[in-house]
Structure 1
Amino acid sequence: MSHYAQRTWPGIRKGAWHFFGHCHGRLAPYGRSRDVGVDCPDCCYAPRTFRELTQNMRDEPVSFEPGA
């Protein structure tokens, strides 16, 4: 988890998740990376569990390569 979005992060090729805030729902999802700030349109200003955050991400490729 990081305040800022990263388009690559330690463990990206090993299936690691990357959650961030800062973008207020304006940055598109990227592989297993998501904006999880409470002010995102689907967040309802409430915290969410890891299971809730990852339920729609489980089928994402472990390593996301732009343009691939």
Structure 2
Amino acid sequence: MPENSPEQVQHPSPEAAPAKSVMDEEKNFPRGLAIRLFIYLVAGHAVAGFLWLLFEAGAK
């Protein structure tokens, strides 16, 4: 029988150590997402301001 036969290889149990996530989302906020969120907020306020300006100009 070979030295490393499948019967002799011990596999670690899933309960042995919890798998560490690639990114700890509670501590790290993705930079690209933060930049996109900032841009969407600025663009959204610019559109809202333009619509407000149109309504103000139309009311006079």
Q: Tell me which interval the TM-score lies in, with the shorter structure as reference length.
A: under 0.3
> With structure 1 as the length reference, what TM-score do the two structures score?
0.17
Looking at secondary structure, tell me which structure has more helix per residue: 2
**Bigger Rg over Cα:** 2
Which protein is richer in strand relative to its size?
Answer: 1
Structure of greater relative contact order (alpha carbons < 8 Å, 6+ residues apart): 1
